[in-house]
Amino acid sequence: MTDRPLLMIPGPVEIADEVLAAASIRPPSHLAPDFKAAFSRALKAMRQVWRADDTHQPFVVAGSGTLAMEAAATNLVDPGEPVLVVNAGLFGDRMAEMLRRRGAIVHQVGSRPGGTPPLEEVDAALADHRPKVLFVTHVDTSTGVRSDAQGILALARRHGALSVVDGVCATAGEPLEQGAWGADVVLTASQKAIGLPPGLALWVASPAALAARRALTVPPPMVLDWLQWLPILEAYEAEANSYFATPSTTLIPALDVGLASLLADGMPAVWARHQRAADACRAAWDAMGLVLVADSPANTLSALSWPDRVDAGALPRIAARGAIVAGGLHPALRSTTFRVGHMGDVTRHPGRVRRAVAAVGLGLRDAGGDVDVDAGLRAFDAHV
Ligand SMILES: *Cc1c(COP(=O)(O)O)cnc(C)c1O
């Protein structure tokens, strides 16, 4: 490991050497036998990572998480149909705007930044509005808050609504069981807790979600259309030739390697190491006098208030101490907060997470903050 600063933002993240090697190949043909075999393995692995059975369909499309969101918004809802967005921050706002542009009747339940809407309010909104689809952000990356995805999905099922989980900052970092919890779509992007370079939109759809697409009156834009992609993905899973739009022939082999390594550890162990890294970081923040924005903080990132006398001018000082962290993102918190990602491969290496914690503490101190770095590191060490 060199002295380069660690990339500790909420995506893109540090990637494993084996994933880097898999992505660093001369781009093969999209019809090359090895490529088709890697694509097939990656699709099968997605079901296991998402904890979905063979009736569920994985999708891999070149793009980012936002593309997966837009695909969900346009494949499940016809103009004029009611939907409910359980909105915990910036990405809930984005989802609601996409649905509005689709012509849906958008109902929302929200909360102050850092909170999540209470289950009773979600329940009441489902009863009042009878939405066709409920959309929830598992981890809102603008405040670092984690939703009670399992509880919300149970309510959606009880009210007969389809459900979409924006797992972009959560999938593989936070426990989620798509099959057992009854999520119809769980979407993410390659550059977050999955631990790849940016460039792939990933989602898994249930049979009910696919049936809802088939029943649409107004088809989605062609490149976002699940039914356009479905035969392509089925062909790749069977290692057969197909073409609709060129897949990323370098990132998909990296996806194969990345997902295989998650499954070699086992998802419960992967979730547990994210939990351990997050617990150690939170103990360190607390000992350094740093305050989290979220009531129920995610295991994949920490959104923290700047300490007294410090602002975003500290970001380069933190980088100079060895970790690139992110500024605020939520419109109401942009100037008062910063965010540290702790997801993906780095959670396999507690020493690297510790380096990032030290860099945050030292950088804040360099910037004039009153931060007890040693106390922070002692608290960190007590947790790993
Ligand atoms: C990062 C993120 C997105 C957007 O993903 P992109 O890959 O940047 O398009 C959407 N939702 C959540 C919760 C995210 O964290």
Residues having CB closer than 6 A to ligand 1 are: 11, 64-66, 91, 137, 139-141, 166, 168-169, 189
- Nearest atom in ligand 1 to 137's CA: 13
> What's the whole-model pTM score?
0.98
- Nearest atom in ligand 1 to 140's CA: 13
Spatial separation of the C-alpha atoms in residues 49 and 170, rounded to whole Å: 12
Q: Average model confidence (pLDDT) for the chain? A: 97
Percent of all residues in the chain with a pLDDT value above 70, rounded to a whole number: 99
Per-residue pLDDT at 2 exceeds 70: no
| Joined tokens for residue 118 | 């209470």
- pLDDT, greater one: 383 or 73: 73
Provide the 10 A C-beta neighbour count for residue 147: 27
Per-residue pLDDT at 116 exceeds 80: yes
Task: For residue 10, report the distance from its CA to the centre of ligand 1, in Å.
Answer: 9
Provide the 10 A C-beta neighbour count for residue 180: 12
Note the pLDDT tens digit of each residue in 126-154: 999 999 999 999 999 999 999 999 999 99
Task: For residue 88, report the distance from its CA to the centre of ligand 1, in Å.
Answer: 14
- Closest Cα to atom 2, ligand 1: which residue? 168
Spatial separation of the C-alpha atoms in residues 110 and 261, rounded to whole Å: 37
- Nearest atom in ligand 1 to 141's CA: 15
Say what the pLDDT of residue 384 is: 83
Provide the 10 A C-beta neighbour count for residue 289: 15
Per-residue pLDDT at 95 exceeds 80: yes
- Reported confidence tier of residue 3, pLDDT bands at 50, 70, 90: confident
